Chain A
């Protein structure tokens, strides 16, 4: 057994650290650390910086502009980037559509769309979930009817993350309703500026605008925007759901979150002593730290396995479950460590002598509420358990 990175991997880690120290803009990192919304402009700036280094499309093969990284390099980057409070790379174009087009797209589609994802011309969003199709995605109803060289799309998508900024949406649509739910689904690329599309914001629990509803009324889409074969879109969707899941544990986010909670507890006073010296709080924190330390090794074990056999195993679903549980536990401790001041609405805190908390801690409760999402999206933790049951338990 050898738990450490190889000399090459260690050198790479150093390179990533140096890159983040040199290139990650301080103002952006400060906004990420404060837990506030990252603007479209911030994301685009960070993407451009990464693209200049050739590190933006991390899961793409080199021939299409990827950096040629394996799962370990990607993990190292994710961990270091999260610890440095870099914004997350928007996954929709880069981690979702890109790999799909590379695997299933026509040569024309690859040549047209991939460079536009890389240079930031197109901001993509995902059109999968519908009001009646969440975990049971195959029951989706948004309809696309072929008329000559076009599809006519009618229906509704929901939970469309950052759809308010998007130029394009990739959608699963129903092109045939006669067979099993998984049959008759197609994968369609739709320009958000097409007449008949309406985007309405959904305000989330903490008050933020992150997700949207997207309505389609007689939206005419060129037939050449179909990816892969008509009625075989489920194959594409499944590929996306099982592809490249090694970052799923979010270890870097948890490491950063743990360090923040600990730092906060060290400077927070309770009844004349530091919160960190309260045995009950310290024990709660210690138990989460143990889970986190175990998960780091679990994650490395899965990475070593992915490197050995060439693809991540189904066990990564366990990492998704534990990863989200650990992050949510840390969000909970962070909020609780602030005591009554946790209740203030971010951005509305009194200043000067009346200040309650450090500006960077203002969003603790908002983050706690917002991150209830992470055990729901990307295949809820219950769906992960169904996947594991099927694959591992053969029950």
Chain B
């Protein structure tokens, strides 16, 4: 047993943390996160230059990572800094492009930005239930495509000859209706109407399911990083804020809630480690469900323990709190994943 990060991953995480600290301070972060295109070209370039995109691809395929623990190292830092850059799409696109035998260089260099378009309005989170039809062109609608504004390429799931296939659509040929997210960052509706597309994988059901699981793991790791930040920030606040002539952290009612928050975070970190190690659908579903519920609890508790200041736009905690609640709705919420786990008992 060994729960230490390898030196390589530690170095990558450290340099990423430093870059995010210097480039994505909260004011700059907010200006990027809440205004179209929800993307900072210079910031993205800097992220690519330190090689974080290589963490999503194995050495065999030309990358420098490709394991669950590589994803953990990157996305914990992204969460701790609340970085809104569209890295989630890259994490899910990388294994799909590798599976399809595509040239990975544009993704790895950061030159191409990929977004995954799977959800449909009547079938969120469930690739199999989509009704978009594919062939030489695609027709249908994809919803909640994260990073749609910044994307140069979309990877789109669609039905073709009774099978779920994966297509590539170039951004310049796509009709995108972008929208801003309340917790920062951008998404978009991909309106496909005989839109030119290239089929990458004719039989892509398993590959898409696996890619979604990579994305879910990334979200879990992002949540762990953001929860750690909220816990540390709330603890500092309890030590400095005074009421009734004493630090509010001296009140047992608040102390026990802090212990409960910390215990819940350690449970969430533990199941995320399990998912990263196993990378099977059961472990990932367990992690996404438990982390989703825990993240909401940590968010609500952090706000409540701060009192009014935690409600303000100016105080950074509010933005972390929004992210922690809203990430549950990405790639399947806690109920969706609990049902996946429960369905295995039948």
Contact = CB atoms under 8 A, between A and B. Distances in A.
B277 interface: yes
A298 B346 contact: no
A298 B270 contact: yes
Contacts of A374: none
B345 A262 contact: yes
Contacts of B89: none
A283 B338 contact: yes
B235 interface: yes
Contacts of A296: 270, 274
A1 B4 contact: yes
Given A276-B345, A290-B341, A318-B263, A3 B249 contact: no
A315 interface: yes
Contacts of A286: 286, 289, 338-339, 341-342, 345
Interface stretch (A58-66, A344-352, A354-362, A384-392): A384-392
Interface in B312-346: 335, 338-339, 341-343, 345-346
A298 B266 contact: yes
Contact of B270 (A2, A5, A295): A295
Interface in A1-59: 1-6, 9
A395 B239 contact: yes
A269 B312 CA distance: 52
Contacts of A290: 271, 286, 289-290, 338, 341
A294 B5 contact: no
Interface string B259-275: 11011001110110110
B154 to A, nearest CB: 33
B346 A282 contact: yes
Interface string B24-44: 000000000000000000000
A293 B271 contact: yes
A277 interface: yes
B345 A1 contact: no
Interface stretch (B90-98, B112-120, B136-144, B250-258): B250-258
Nearest to A325: B263
A305 B274 CA distance: 17
A3 B1 contact: yes
Contact of A395 (B4, B249, B342): B249
B256 A295 contact: no
B88 to A, nearest CB: 22
A282 B345 contact: yes
Contacts of B290: 290-291, 294
Interface string A253-274: 0000000001001100000000
- Give the interface SS of chain A, mostly helix, strand, loop or mixed: helix
Given A294-B274, A295-B267, A297-B273, A285 B5 contact: no
Contact of B262 (A276, A305, A388): A388
B69 interface: yes
A382 interface: yes
Contacts, number: 133
B178 to A, nearest CB: 35
A395 B4 CA distance: 28
B270 A294 contact: yes
Contacts of A72: 1
Interface string B276-293: 110000010010011000
Contacts of B266: 298, 315, 318
Given A287-B338, A294-B267, A315-B266, A395 B258 contact: yes
A393 B235 contact: yes
A258 to B, nearest CB: 11
Interface in B139-185: none
A304 interface: yes
A271 B18 CA distance: 59
B102 interface: no
B238 interface: yes
A81 to B, nearest CB: 20
B243 interface: no
Contacts of A2: 1-2
Contact of B256 (A279, A318, A389): A389
Given A3-B273, A283-B335, 14 more contacts: A1-B4, A277-B345, A279-B339, A285-B345, A286-B338, A289-B286, A290-B286, A295-B267, A297-B270, A301-B270, A304-B3, A382-B256, A385-B255, A386-B255
27 contacts: A1-B6, A2-B2, A3-B3, A262-B345, A276-B345, A279-B342, A283-B342, A286-B339, A286-B341, A286-B345, A290-B341, A291-B267, A293-B283, A293-B286, A294-B267, A295-B270, A296-B270, A296-B274, A298-B266, A301-B3, A304-B2, A304-B3, A318-B259, A385-B256, A385-B259, A393-B259, A395-B249
